[in-house]
Every structure is written in C-alpha cells, then in structure tokens.
Amino acid sequence: MKIGIFDSGIGGLSVLHEAYHLLPKQEFIFYADTENVPYGTKTPEQIVGYATKITDFLIEKGAGAIVVACNTATSVAIKELRKNYNIPILGMEPAVKPAVEGTEGKRIMVIATPVTIRQDKLKDLLHRVDEEHRVDLLAMPKLVEFAEREEFESEAVREYITQQFGAFDKEKYCALVLGCTHFNYFKPLYREYFGQETLLIDGNRGTVRHLADVLSLDMAQDIDMSFDKDNEMSWMNNTKYYFFGKEITGGETLQHLKRLHLRLEKVRNF
C-alpha cells in the first residue's frame, strides 16, 4: 500500500525524509500544495478545501493512508478529513507533550504558524499537558516563506529569528518545539541563537513511529542514508512527488527536491 503525505509546501518533506530513515522500503506519494502555500495565513475554510482536494488526489493515485504533514492543516481539517474518508488519516501537532515530559523547571517555546496558534486544538493540548504553564507560543509565519525560497541561512533569516525571539529571555528556555514542518530547515540557526543546551524538538520521528504502528509496518533501525558523489538518492525512487498536481520527474524542480533532502539530512540531528 502506498502512503500519501501532503503539506502546503516543502515542510512535509521533513516528515518524508524521516520516513526514508525508518521505513526505507515503503512507497510514498508526496504532494506539496505549492500554489496555495502558505496555509498559515489562510482561513480555516480555505485550508479544509485544499486538504480535501489533495486527499482526493492522493487516493486517486493509489494512497491507502494519508499523513497530513502539516500542523496547520491538521489543526483545522483533520476532523473533517477523518469524517469523510474511510482510510487511516494521520495528523501532526506540535510535540508539546514530549517537551513537557522530557524537561523540568525551565520554560518551553513553541513556534508555529498563526493559524496553528489560534486554534482550539493547541489550546486543548496545552490544557491537557502543560499543567505548570511552562509553555510560550510564538508565531513565525515568515519562516515558511524563507523555506519556500530555499533561504535557510541568510542574513535576513537570522535577523528575523533574532528579532522574533528577542521578545523573550532566552536564558529561561530549555526547549524549542518546532510546531510547523517548514521550521526544520532552520535548526542550525535556532542552535546558534539558543546555544547547545536547549533541546530542539520536532514531531517527525513520533509521526513516523505512529504511522508504522497504525499500519503495522516494520520499522528499520534508522538506516544510514548514503549520498554518493553524483548526488544520486536512490531512496527517492520509492516516491512520486507532485507539486500542485504536477508530477516531478526531472529538471530544476527535481534538483530542488534533492537539495532539500540534503539539507534535511544535514540538520536532522542538530
């Protein structure tokens, strides 16, 4: 069975990349809604509409399960999708629980899109797990735009990050939760800002584990992804990639995808 993974854009690749490590034999169909990115500034109705169209598309292409590799779409559309489709549909939410349970005392910063931050889903989650009120929320919508432009370490990104985090006292934080899949690309910059001690927590490994569980798939031992000299990434062959309904089979867009996977490999364990 093929697994469909979608996001507004290239953020969802970080989930797919993790799946390559843990489910190397699995076939995937990846969809980036590149005409409608960013979702983080759209209305819930618009996002539900996009998510429904993409789910139809992925099922039509043979997906037997769907991963909504987007915290924003999950926060507004997951209920609707589960109600309307009779296949496993997995979502993502900021990994607040592991952050709260895995740390003590100091504060935790959750960064996400404005939509994710406004939704009740996140408020309910905080209500359930953040008993000591250690969590602060911060919207960073511009990081989505920087990521889409493949601008991961420019002065402009650094400035944006410094300015957004600048409103908080960084000494008080022990963990930063990446509540948007696009935010994974910037791990070295968070590290630079917060230093070595602060945990960077994303939900990707948890999502892939959950997927394996739900579909009873055997997980690999976290395989070593080797990239040969020619930059051939044979593991990408297990996947059909679509950008807004158009299959990517070559050209600059395929090179773009390869560069993104290389970046994700580089920042994976930061």
Binding-site ranges for ligand DGL (CB under 6 A): 7-9, 11, 37-40, 70-72, 113, 116, 144, 180-182
Q: To 10 degrees, what angle do helices 71-84 and 44-60 make? A: 60
Give the active site residue among 48, 70, 143, 147: 70
What is the rounded CA–CA span in Å between residue 151 and residue 35?
A: 19
Judged by beta carbon, residue 76 or residue 227, the one nearer ligand DGL is 76
What is the rounded CA–CA span in Å between residue 68 and residue 119?
A: 16
User: Rounded to the nearest whole angstrom, what is the least distance from the CB of residue 127 to ligand DGL in the complex?
Assistant: 20
Structure tokens at 218: 């055997």
Is 180 considered catalytic here?
yes
Angle 151-253-142 (CA atoms, 0-180°, nearest 5)?
30
What is the rounded CA–CA span in Å between residue 139 and residue 143?
A: 10
- Listed in sequence order, the DSSP H helices in the chain are 13-22, 44-60, 71-84, 96-101, 114-118, 120-129, 142-148, 155-165, 187-194, 204-214, 251-267
User: Rounded to the nearest whole angstrom, what is the least distance from the CB of residue 73 to ligand DGL in the complex?
Assistant: 7
Judged by beta carbon, residue 54 or residue 70, the one nearer ligand DGL is 70
End-to-end CA distance of the chain: 32
Judged by beta carbon, residue 71 or residue 239, the one nearer ligand DGL is 71
User: Rounded to the nearest whole angstrom, what is the least distance from the CB of residue 197 to ligand DGL in the complex?
Assistant: 26
> By the 8 A CB rule, do 90 and 207 touch?
yes
User: Rounded to the nearest whole angstrom, what is the least distance from the CB of residue 228 to ligand DGL in the complex?
Assistant: 30
Structure tokens at 200: 């960077």
Q: Which residue is nearest to ligand DGL (CB)?
A: 40
Judged by beta carbon, residue 121 or residue 182, the one nearer ligand DGL is 182
Of 83, 70, 270, the C-alpha closest to 190 is: 270
User: Rounded to the nearest whole angstrom, what is the least distance from the CB of residue 239 to ligand DGL in the complex?
Assistant: 18
Judged by beta carbon, residue 175 or residue 180, the one nearer ligand DGL is 180
Sign of the Cα pseudo-torsion (143, 144, 146, 147, in order): positive
User: Rounded to the nearest whole angstrom, what is the least distance from the CB of residue 19 to ligand DGL in the complex?
Assistant: 16
What is the rounded CA–CA span in Å between residue 48 and residue 26?
A: 27
Judged by beta carbon, residue 4 or residue 40, the one nearer ligand DGL is 40
Query: In which order are the strands placed within the sheet that holds 246-247?
Result: 89-90, 63-68, 2-7, 28-32, 239-243, 246-247
Is 70 considered catalytic here?
yes
Give the active site residue among 51, 100, 180, 264: 180
Q: Which sequence positions are flagged as catalytic?
A: 70, 180
